[in-house]
């Protein structure tokens, strides 16, 4: 029986991954942790819950021992735009936090999931149909931590046999927990604004193509890669995964099919635009498809219908 620890359980991915993993492995086999103590109400839902700061290696080791953890989903991160404001903190959490988790995993024989990102690519990466194995020279702190994280995970597997696995997530669109401080956040905000005000001020320029994915597919990717038959894996970390690629006009047009009066204006955010300009327009995820049968379910059309419905209920 698996005993799973989710680190960053209150984040955009963690909050929904908790529910999915508990459905699969049973409530008490999935332990939640986060640097922030949840509110009383949320604590009841997340329990068993441990307050845990990834920069404290002893605390990680203590929680892993207490619950006999064998699999860690390591999700804490400072997203790309905030990481440019606070690069030192982004490094500390992104790199030192991951290093601590890998050290505990080595000592306690845990498997580790590490989410890398489209941010692991940079301005010299070919932007269209970006291959799995290609030049990665990111020029953002977020990207530096993600590419170094991929390499560190590969190293711990090769050198110490730690079962590290991971994917390069695109922008993740969801309605349960808001992302915070990412370059791709606009693709979430647009739904809230479309329903509330029929109007959105987009921080990215028209024509800025980026890969995106709806949360159910992201959860499926994180769980499937950890369950994949290791004999099929040629790669282990940083698998390209994508479900759709669009630019702001494309998603606005899709929303307009349901909210005909929806208007979009552009208020360029130079930090987010500069970051987005160095990321791929679209990734090639054929290695994930071949090595662990990755296959997303939601395209833009299907996701838009579901998001509009769920966000409307939430805002009532």
Angle formed by the axes of helices 12-25 and 215-227, nearest 10°: 50
> What is the CA 276 to chain-centroid distance, rounded?
16
Q: Is 138 in the site for ligand SER (CB under 6 A)?
A: no
Which one of 111-119, 243-251, 260-268, 293-301 is the stretch in contact with ligand SER (CB under 6 A)?
Answer: 111-119
Evaluate whether 115 touches 239 at the Cβ level (below 8 Å): no
Q: Which residue has the tokens 């090769």?
A: 158
Smaller CB separation from ligand SER, 104 or 300: 300
Which of 14, 149, 171, 238 is close enough to bind ligand SER by CB under 6 A? 171
184 binds ligand SER (CB under 6 A): yes
Residue 169 touching ligand SER (CB under 6 A): yes
Q: Which is nearer to ligand SER, 147 or 162 (CB)?
A: 147
Which is nearer to ligand SER, 142 or 191 (by Cβ)?
142
The reply to whether 282 sits near ligand SER by the rule CB under 6 A is: no
CA distances from 259 to 108, 157, 193, 250, 262 (A): 52, 49, 11, 14, 6
Interface with ligand SER, residue 94, by CB under 6 A: no
- In degrees, rounded to 5, the angle at the alpha carbon of residue 215 between the alpha carbons of residues 279 and 211 is 20
**Of 15, 33, 80, 174, which one interacts with ligand SER (CB under 6 A)?**
80
Please identify, among the stretches 52-60, 103-111, 181-189, 237-245, the one whose residues bind ligand SER according to the rule CB under 6 A.
Answer: 181-189
Closest CA relative to residue 173, chosen from 154, 152, 194, 158:
194
| 245 part of the interface to ligand SER, by CB under 6 A | no
Q: Which residue has the tokens 């929806």?
A: 262
CB atoms within 10 A of CB 27: 11
Nearer to ligand SER, 182 or 248 (CB): 182
> What is the phi/psi pair of residue 21, to 5°?
-65, -35
- Pairing mode, if any, of strands 171-173 and 239-240? unpaired
Which of these segments, 151-159, 177-185, 224-232, 290-298, binds ligand SER (CB under 6 A)?
177-185
Q: Is residue 248 involved in binding ligand SER (CB under 6 A)?
A: no
Q: Is 283 in the site for ligand SER (CB under 6 A)?
A: no
Residue 183 found at the interface with ligand SER (CB under 6 A): yes
| 199-202 and 164-169 strand pairing | unpaired
Instruction: Answer yes or no whether residue 182 interacts with ligand SER by CB under 6 A.
Output: yes
Q: How far is CA 186 from CA 161, 171, 224, 234, 286, in A?
A: 39, 9, 27, 34, 27
Q: Which of 142, 156, 186, 200 is catalytic?
A: 142
Measured over the CA atoms of residue 301, residue 304, residue 305 and residue 306, the dihedral's sign is positive
> Binding to ligand SER by residue 117, rule CB under 6 A?
yes
Closest to ligand SER by CB, 38 or 181 = 181
Q: Examine the residue annotation and report whether 142 is marked as an active-site residue of this protein.
A: yes
Q: How far is the CB of 271 from ligand SER (least distance, A)?
A: 11
Pairwise CA distance, residues 251 & 260, whole Å = 13
CB nearest ligand SER: which residue? Answer: 182
The nearer residue to ligand SER, 49 or 186, going by C-beta atoms, is 186
Residue 112 sits at φ, ψ, to 5 deg, of -130, 130
Task: Verify binding: residue 79, ligand SER, rule CB under 6 A.
Answer: yes
Give the active site residues.
142
Binding site residues, ligand SER, CB under 6 A: 79-80, 117-119, 142, 169, 171, 182-184
């Amino acid at each position: 029986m698996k005993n799973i620890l989710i680190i960053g359980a209150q984040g955009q991915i963690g909050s929904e991954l908790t529910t999915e993993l508990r459905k699969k492995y049973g409530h008490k086999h999935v332990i939640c942790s986060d640097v922030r103590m949840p509110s009383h109400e949320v604590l009841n839902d997340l329990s068993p819950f441990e307050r845990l700061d990834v920069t404290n290696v002893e605390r990680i080791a203590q929680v892993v021992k207490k619950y006999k953890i064998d699999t860690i989903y390591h999700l804490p991160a400072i997203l790309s735009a905030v990481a440019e404001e606070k690069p030192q903190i982004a490094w500390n959490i992104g790199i030192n936090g991951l290093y601590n988790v890998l050290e505990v995993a080595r000592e306690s024989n845990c498997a580790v999931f590490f989410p890398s990102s489209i941010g692991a690519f940079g301005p010299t990466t070919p932007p269209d149909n970006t291959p799995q194995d290609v030049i990665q020279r990111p020029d953002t702190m977020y990207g530096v931590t993600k590419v170094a994280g991929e390499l560190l995970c590969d190293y711990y597997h090769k050198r110490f046999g730690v079962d590290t696995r991971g994917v390069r997530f695109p922008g993740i669109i969801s309605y349960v927990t808001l992302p915070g401080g990412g370059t791709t956040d606009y693709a979430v905000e647009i739904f809230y604004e479309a329903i509330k005000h029929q109007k959105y001020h987009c921080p990215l320029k028209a024509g800025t193509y980026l890969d995106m994915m709806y949360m159910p597919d992201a959860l499926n990717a994180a769980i499937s890669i950890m369950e994949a038959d290791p004999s099929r894996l040629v790669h282990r970390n940083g698998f390209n995964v994508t479900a759709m690629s669009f630019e702001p006009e494309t998603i606005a047009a899709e929303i307009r099919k349901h909210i005909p009066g929806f208007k979009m204006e552009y208020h360029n955010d130079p930090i987010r635009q500069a970051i987005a300009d160095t990321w791929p327009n679209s990734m090639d995820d054929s290695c994930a498809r071949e090595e662990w049968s990755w296959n997303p379910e939601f395209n833009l059309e299907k996701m838009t219908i579901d998001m509009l419905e769920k966000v409307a209920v939430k805002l009532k």
